[in-house]
Structure 1
Amino acid sequence: MSEQIIPTEYALQAKQPVSAVLTGPYGHPFHPILVTIPIGTWAASLVFDIGSFIVGDPDFLNKGAAWLIAVGVLGALAAATVGFLDLLAIPTGTKALRTGLTHMSLMLAVTVGFALDFWWRTASGLDGTVGTGPLVLTIVCLVVLVAAGALGGKLAYRYGVRVVDECTQADGFRR
């Protein structure tokens, strides 16, 4: 026989927004929506980089990758602002907060890495194929991004941060 899971006061606190206007209403946080911008643009920049080695005139792909990185950095800053407000709702001393702090730290490192990647690319010129250094930096940042994203998923899907409580979720499974 399975036990009924009753959310603690701490778990319920982590599900409530600090400001629904800024972070999204209960059960519909803005942070997961906003993270699609940097994830998509940064992944696309790698595709552009690879393409720059295949086509005859790679300049447009090299420039496109650089601008995708820049858009991703701006999107990451927007996502980080909202994500930080979500982090403030998580009670201290919890696994969820430790996971959130690790997620935030890794994502800040990724964002700084991509900002440096953009600077490196533009400083060294955007003609021809992408340089080895910026290409390696992009790949490293994307690997860290996957790890940080997994932690973000753990916050939402395992700890239920900013998603509905178990009683509300159960309504969707009643016959």
Structure 2
Amino acid sequence: MRTPANIAGYPIHPMLVAIPIGLWVFSLVCDFIAMRSGTPELWTGIAYWTLIGGIVGALAAALPGLIDLLSLEDPAIKKTALTHMGINLAVVALYVLNGVLRYRDPQGIGGVPFALSVLAILMLLVSGWLGGKMVYLARVGVTDAPESTVRAKAPEFRNR
């Protein structure tokens, strides 16, 4: 089921979500490094700016995601998409709060900001699972090629 937010048939939302996910995971990695580093201020700074970049990336990914959500007609798929969106909005809110706390105490290591990062990553795992469920089980954003095209492009997969 092709979704309306696409470039040349490729859905935009899955392309963009890698940016905030990667930045937020790296932010958490930087927190771990800061806890063991001789220069924690460097790593807490990197964690802060990657966290902020993740927020910007998430907002960029949200628009095509919303466009795709509004195009869904199946109630079960739409319910999954709404849950996916709700979790993602909560994650962004956690990271905004996290960013404010880190801005107020740039040299703080651990504590509430670290706990918020861990919680948000765990929530992202659930949200990603729901996104994968929509793609792999409900085929949202997937355009199936005609059988003749598949055979012409990938003959080694015939009869498997």
- Per the TM superposition, whether the score is higher than 0.5 is yes
Of 65, 74, 80 in structure 1, the residue corresponding to residue 56 of structure 2 is: 74
Contact 2:31–2:47 (CA<8 Å) still a contact in 1? yes
In structure 1, distance between residues paired with 2:95 and 2:120:
7
- Confirm or deny: 8 A CA contact 2:3 2:140 kept in the other structure: no
Alignment RMSD, CA only? 1.7
- Which amino acid is 1:54 matched to? R
> Match of 1:153, SS?
helix
Report what 2:27 is aligned to.
Answer: 45
What residue number does 1:164 align with?
A: 143
Q: Give the letter for the 1:49 counterpart.
A: D
Q: CA 1:84/1:169 → structure 2, altered by over 3 Å: closer, same or farther? A: farther
Instruction: List 4+ stretches of structure 1 deviating above 6 A.
Output: none
Aligned to 1:90: 72
Per the normalisation by structure 1, the TM-score is 0.81
Q: Specify every segment of 5 or more residues in structure 1 that has no aligned partner in the other structure, as ranges.
A: 1-14
Structure 2 residue corresponding to 1:138, chosen from 86, 110, 117? 117
SS at match of 1:163: coil
Residues 112-137 of structure 1, C-alpha deviations (whole Å, 9 max, x = no match): 111111111111x212x523110000
* Gap regions ≥5 residues in structure 2: 152-156
Question: Deviations along 1:45-75, whole A, 9 cap, x unmatched?
Answer: 1110000011112001001101000000000
Contact 1:41 1:72 in 2 (8 A): yes
Superposed CA offset, 1:12-41 (max 9, x none):
xxx23335xxx3232x11111100001000
Match of 2:7 in 1: 24
> What SS does the corresponding residue of 2:39 show, helix, strand or coil?
coil
Asked if 2 retains the 8 angstrom alpha-carbon contact of 1:17 and 1:24, the reply is no
Partner amino acid, structure 1, of 2:146: T
Taking every aligned residue pair, what percent have the same amino acid on both sides?
Answer: 35
Q: CA deviation at 1:171?
A: 4.4
Q: Is the 8 A contact 2:20 2:55 kept in 1?
A: yes
CA contact (8 A) 1:16 1:89 kept: no
Distance 2:52 2:35 in 1: 21
The one-letter code of the counterpart of 1:117 is N
